[in-house]
């Protein structure tokens, strides 16, 4: 009787064509038994599938992290301590496994925290867990690490096979480890080194399954899932295009099978801009420390009496592609989105640069030499609503910059200001004296 009354009231207020999954109403019988009469059997099944997929994503990511730990603890360190391979050979075989391990640990922690918080708050259906947003937050640096690993994994496997033939002690160590070490689960080193390739190719499949069972009225969750899946697929296509010439086609067949649709040329160009920027900065061999703080379109001009008049501003701005590239491993003090950056701290970033690129007829070229932010000052006058100025101290070049909208302009200004202040040599006071005009050494 209670259930019929609730359904009757719901029919009076619901919109035409509305589905029962849009309302989650619980009621209690006289005996205190809780039930949800407005959740249909189909919706209940989809929610159960969604819980299972989220749990699978969390658990498999943690398992992937444990496999990376096995590579480090059971193979890399024993081989290094025993001197089975020299440092160059170890670097070539194991590549940037340590960087992948850091990214996996960070993502696993965020996934586990989101899962446990939802359960503690009584969200048994995990409707508050936004997996797509977590992947989008982790994807820029994580996907770059996967690209650095996957494009070189083919050569690493060939080198390992040759070394096993040449070095008897190495061959014995790997065989005994596989057969006697229970932690390895009878897997050899080559199988473990393929785990990162298998993991990154599985991300789009997991996100696609989760997207399929996410309710349509959860617009933000569906949008972030679709965006994260598309971004990962795009990077997999780019990885395949870089690696197919040096690796067997069989290794990369799984990447081709993920999505039959080709990515947009505009999206592929964004990845090409990154590659050009890293090559120009000559940071190609430092993949573990390279990060892209911000990238996108900017409008720019160089101020002059002709195009910049204080009275009536007549400005003609030209579009350009810009990327802020940082070098170093950020620590807990690194926070470019902070509102208060008056007192910068050591944040693990050793260098940062603004690279301005232009594209014409499919060819990407530099607008000018990279602007290293430790030699730049960024400012914005109070009467400037949508512009800010970037001045390079060494060359005395000045650029007036603007984002595509007001919000983008603020984001670019904040990112550039943060990296200029934390890296700038201008902030070092002379002789650390209280009064910089006094120098006791000059007497």
Cβ pair 348, 312 in contact under 8 A: no
* pLDDT at residue 251 in the model: 43
Out of 146-150, 174-178, 245-249, 365-369, pick the least confident: 245-249
pLDDT band of 384, cuts 50, 70, 90: low
pLDDT band of 341, cuts 50, 70, 90: low
Task: For residue 320, report the phi and psi dihedrals to the nearest 5 degrees.
Answer: -155, 155
Between the ranges 15-19, 214-218, 286-290, 383-387, where is the mean pLDDT highest?
A: 214-218
* pLDDT at residue 243 in the model: 64
Between the ranges 162-176, 252-266, 299-313, where is the mean pLDDT highest?
A: 162-176
CA distance 79 to 75: 6
Q: Please report where in the chains the tokens 């001197």 appear, as a residue.
A: 83
Pairing of strands 34-35, 290-301: unpaired
Six-digit token string for 73:
């603890």
* pLDDT at residue 100 in the model: 92
Q: Which DSSP helix (H) or strand (E) runs through 324?
A: strand 318-328
CATH 2.30.29.30 fits 267-305+314-437, yes or no: yes
- For the chain, which residues make up each domain, given as ranges? 41-261, 267-305+314-437
Fold matches, 41-261 and 267-305+314-437: no
Q: Which DSSP helix (H) or strand (E) runs through 407?
A: helix 406-423
- 107-157: per-residue pLDDT in tens? 999 999 988 888 888 877 787 888 888 998 888 888 888 888 888 888 888
HSE-CB of 260 using CA atoms within 13 angstroms: 0
CA distance 186 to 177: 8
Task: For residue 197, report the phi and psi dihedrals to the nearest 5 degrees.
Answer: -65, -45
Closest alpha carbon to 252 in 194, 205, 203: 194
Q: Please report where in the chains the tokens 């060939």 appear, as a residue.
A: 158
- 389-427: per-residue pLDDT in tens? 888 888 888 888 888 888 888 888 888 888 887 776 545
Closest alpha carbon to 178 in 168, 192, 161: 192
For residues 247-260, average pLDDT: 43
CA distance 123 to 16: 28
* pLDDT at residue 319 in the model: 86
Closest alpha carbon to 235 in 283, 203, 192: 203
Q: Which DSSP helix (H) or strand (E) runs through 268?
A: helix 265-281
CA distance 222 to 217: 9
pLDDT band of 270, cuts 50, 70, 90: low
User: Is the pLDDT score of 67 beyond 90?
Assistant: yes
More confident residue, 71 or 2: 71
Report the chain's C-alpha Rg in angstroms.
27
Q: Which residues are CB-contacts of 338 (< 8 A; sequence separation ≥ 6)?
A: 418
More confident residue, 383 or 93: 93
Alpha-carbon distances of 376 from 276, 418, 419, 422, rounded to whole Å: 22, 11, 9, 11
Q: Which DSSP helix (H) or strand (E) runs through 352?
A: strand 349-360
For residues 21-26, average pLDDT: 44
Q: Which DSSP helix (H) or strand (E) runs through 58?
A: helix 41-70
Q: What is the dihedral of CA 72, 75, 77, 79, to 10 degrees?
A: -150
Pairing of strands 318-328, 290-301: antiparallel
Burial 150-181 (b: 16+ CB within 10 A, else e): bbbbbebbeebeebbeeeeebeebbeebeeee
User: Is the pLDDT score of 68 beyond 90?
Assistant: yes
Six-digit token string for 401:
């910059």
Which CATH number is 41-261 given? Answer: 1.20.900.10
Cβ pair 329, 421 in contact under 8 A: no
Strand pairing partners for 295? 323
Alpha-carbon distances of 303 from 315, 320, 425, 427, rounded to whole Å: 9, 16, 25, 26
- 192-219: per-residue pLDDT in tens? 998 998 888 889 889 988 988 888 888 8
What mean pLDDT value characterizes the chain? Answer: 76
Cβ pair 387, 405 in contact under 8 A: no
pLDDT band of 12, cuts 50, 70, 90: very low
């Amino acid at each position: 009787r209670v259930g019929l009354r609730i359904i009757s009231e719901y029919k009076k207020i619901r919109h035409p064509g509305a589905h029962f999954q849009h309302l989650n109403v619980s009621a209690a019988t006289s005996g205190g038994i809780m039930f949800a009469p407005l959740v249909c059997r189909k919706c209940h099944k989809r929610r159960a599938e969604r819980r299972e997929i989220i749990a699978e994503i969390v658990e498999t990511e943690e398992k992937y992290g444990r496999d990376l730990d096995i590579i480090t603890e059971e193979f890399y360190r024993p081989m290094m301590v025993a001197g089975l391979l020299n440092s160059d050979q170890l670097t070539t075989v194991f590549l940037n496994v340590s960087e992948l391990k850091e990214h996996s640990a960070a993502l696993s922690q965020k996934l586990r925290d989101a899962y446990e918080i939802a359960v503690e708050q009584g969200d048994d259906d995990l409707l508050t867990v936004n997996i797509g947003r977590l992947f989008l937050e982790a994807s820029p640096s994580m996907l770059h690490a996967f690209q650095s690993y996957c494009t070189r994994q083919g050569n690493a496997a060939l080198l390992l096979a040759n070394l096993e033939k040449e070095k008897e002690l190495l061959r014995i160590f790997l065989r005994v480890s596989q057969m006697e070490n229970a932690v390895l689960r009878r897997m050899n080193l080559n199988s473990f080194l393929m785990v990162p390739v298998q993991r990154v190719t599985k991300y789009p499949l997991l996100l696609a399954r989760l997207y399929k069972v996410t309710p349509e009225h959860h617009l933000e969750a569906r949008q972030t899932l679709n965006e994260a899946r598309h971004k990962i697929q795009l990077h997999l296509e780019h990885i395949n295009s870089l690696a197919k010439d040096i690796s067997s086609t069989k290794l990369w067949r799984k990447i081709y099978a993920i999505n039959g649709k080709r990515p947009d040329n505009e999206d592929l160009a964004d990845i090409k801009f990154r590659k050009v920027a890293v090559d120009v900065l000559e940071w190609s061999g430092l993949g573990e420390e390279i990060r892209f703080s911000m990238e996108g379109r900017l409008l720019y001009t160089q101020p002059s009496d002709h195009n910049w008049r204080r009275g009536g501003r007549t400005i003609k701005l030209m579009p350009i592609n810009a990327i802020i590239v940082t070098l170093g491993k950020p620590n807990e003090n690194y926070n470019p989105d902070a509102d208060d950056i008056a007192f910068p701290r050591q944040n693990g970033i050793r260098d940062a640069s603004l690279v301005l690129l232009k594209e014409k007829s499919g060819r990407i070229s530099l607008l000018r030499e990279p602007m290293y932010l430790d030699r730049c000052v960024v400012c914005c006058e109070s009467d400037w609503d949508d512009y800010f100025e970037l001045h390079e101290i060494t060359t005395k070049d000045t650029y007036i910059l603007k984002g595509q909208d007001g919000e983008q302009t603020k984001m670019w200004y904040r990112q550039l200001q943060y990296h200029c202040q934390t890296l700038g040599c201008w902030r070092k006071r002379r002789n650390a004296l209280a009064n910089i005009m006094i120098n006791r050494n000059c007497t």
